[in-house]
Amino acid sequence: MPWTGPMHTVVIDAINVTQSFGHTHALSGVSVRISRGEAVAMMGTSGSGKTTLLHCLAGITQPTSGTVRLAPPIGAAASLPVVTVSDLGDGERSRLRRERFGFVFQQGLLLPELTAVENAALPLMVAGISRTAAQQHAAHWLAALGLGGLEDRRIGQLSGGQAQRVAIARAQVNAPDVVFADEPTGALDSTTSDEVMTVLLDSTIDRGGALVVVTHDEAVAARCHRVLRLCDGRLVGGPHA
């Protein structure tokens, strides 16, 4: 299908993605389109292929077959091409992930020896921005996510919900096109989970980003615009979503 017309709002277009690990068919011909400003939940029983699909969409792994394409960043020169993520080598996918995507995982994967603001500033520092400028920008994000005053706490001195907000700030600091979240509220109680989802949704959608959330929690999925359900590596209800 051509990348034209109404597709101008599409940020990720995955076509017929298949992922096999030996004899395990983790994904069998999944096609998914994700638009800017859209929050999409991925649900399904354990082993249905949710994380594998997230990894293929985010360029963490290369699918066995099929294509994953990524639109140019918002405001980029018209000449910038669509990138076929699934054709890139490891180094190029790693760069793409750093520059275009943000990630939030269940256990945050924050560095315990660093403070909240140092953790949140990491993507900017990796991109070559000075420590001072990176930490100033990260501090703005922490304040926007309700963590003003906690910038200098180490991760172990924060609650689970606060630590997830630091992970969300870290995912947002470089204004990624897509934020991928794998069970971002899996370790939180329902009230904190709801608060963290609000922060995650607002901080992504308000700036025109897209959000892809893997979750087992129907309440989390209900907060998203759309729910994709996977069963045995296929989308329930047909191969396209």
Ligand X SMILES: Nc1ncnc2c1ncn2[C@@H]1O[C@H](COP(=O)(O)OP(=O)(O)OP(=O)(O)O)[C@@H](O)[C@H]1O
Q: Containing H/E element for 212? A: strand 210-214
21 binds ligand X (CB under 6 A): yes
Dump the DSSP string for 45-94: STTSSHHHHHHHHTTSS--SEEEEEEPPPTT--TTPPPEEGGGS-HHHHH
Q: Which of 2, 6, 23, 46 binds ligand X (CB under 6 A)?
A: 46
Q: Which of 52, 162, 185, 203 binds ligand X (CB under 6 A)?
A: 52
185 binds ligand X (CB under 6 A): no
Q: Which stretch binds ligand X (CB under 6 A): 6-14, 47-55, 136-144, 197-205?
A: 47-55
CA angle (113 as vertex; 109, 115 as ends), nearest 5: 85
Q: Which residue type, as a one-letter code, is found at position 101?
A: F
Q: Which stretch binds ligand X (CB under 6 A): 20-28, 31-39, 65-73, 164-172?
A: 20-28
Which stretches within the chain are classed as H helix? 50-57, 90-100, 116-126, 131-144, 160-172, 190-205, 218-222
Q: Which of 16, 18, 51, 136 binds ligand X (CB under 6 A)?
A: 51
What is the SS3 string spanning 59-71? CCCCCCEEEEEEC
Q: Tell me, residue by residue from 24 to 43, as one string, x for binding to ligand X by CB under 6 A and - for no binding.
A: x-x-----------------
Task: Considering the complex, state which of residue 145 and residue 221 has its C-beta at the smaller distance from ligand X.
Answer: 221
Task: Considering the complex, state which of residue 105 and residue 141 has its C-beta at the smaller distance from ligand X.
Answer: 105
Q: Using CB under 6 A, list all residues that contact ligand X.
A: 21, 24, 26, 44, 46-52
